[in-house]
């Protein structure tokens, strides 16, 4: 009886650990871009980490943060997409976009998002103004793609 009880408790503990892991959030820095004026941008992906799932859904956010040459955050553009997968196919079921301005010299002049198959895309245009004159334009495209096993890049 003690062995059966020990076995049951071990199984329950393992299930609890795996349940906690499946809801943990992860963030991965994908790339850093440097511009000639000393500014730079960081692209990252954040979302739920769900190990051992042969089918299901996952939601990920891909963000681009643009920093001025003095290392201050100027603006951020993001897309958030939900994907379903079953080991054979994957599909994007929803996508949304967001922008945040931290430096008033910058403006988001255009933004859009779309989905096709297992891919979500966001397109953004940001402009920096000096005395109401645009002096810098950055066009940014963010793409999330899910494979049949739920891996999103």
In a domain, 134, yes or no: yes
CATH number for the domain harbouring residue 92: 2.60.40
Q: Which pLDDT band holds residue 118 (cuts at 50, 70, 90)?
A: very high
Question: What is the rounded CA–CA span in Å between residue 23 and residue 46?
Answer: 12
In a domain, 19, yes or no: no
Token pair, residue 91, equals 């599909």
How many structural domains is the chain composed of?
1
Question: What is the rounded CA–CA span in Å between residue 21 and residue 53?
Answer: 12
What is the tens place of the pLDDT at every residue in 14-66? 544 444 444 445 668 789 999 999 999 999 998 876 655 668 899 999 999 99
Question: What is the rounded CA–CA span in Å between residue 27 and residue 100?
Answer: 19
In a domain, 20, yes or no: no
In a domain, 75, yes or no: yes
Question: What is the rounded CA–CA span in Å between residue 97 and residue 80?
Answer: 6
In a domain, 74, yes or no: yes
Whether the full predicted model's pTM is greater than 0.85, yes or no, is no
In a domain, 117, yes or no: yes
pLDDT of residue 27: 67
Domain ranges, residue 70: 25-145
- Count, residues in the chain: 153
Question: What is the rounded CA–CA span in Å between residue 81 and residue 21?
Answer: 21
């Amino acid at each position: 009886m003690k062995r059966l009880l020990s076995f049951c408790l071990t199984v329950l503990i393992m299930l609890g650990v795996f349940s906690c892991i499946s809801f943990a959030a992860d963030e991965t820095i994908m790339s850093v871009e440097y511009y000639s004026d000393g500014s730079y941008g960081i692209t990252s992906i954040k979302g739920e980490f769900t190990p051992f799932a042969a089918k299901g859904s996952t939601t990920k956010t891909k963000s681009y943060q643009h920093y001025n040459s003095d290392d201050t955050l100027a603006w951020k553009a993001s897309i958030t997409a939900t994907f379903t997968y079953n080991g054979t196919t994957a599909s994007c079921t929803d996508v949304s976009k967001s922008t945040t301005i931290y430096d008033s010299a910058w403006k988001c002049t255009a933004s859009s998002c779309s989905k096709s198959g297992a891919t979500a895309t966001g397109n953004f245009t940001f402009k920096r103004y000096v005395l109401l004159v645009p002096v810098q334009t950055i066009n940014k495209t963010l793409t999330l793609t899910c494979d049949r096993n739920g891996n999103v890049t």
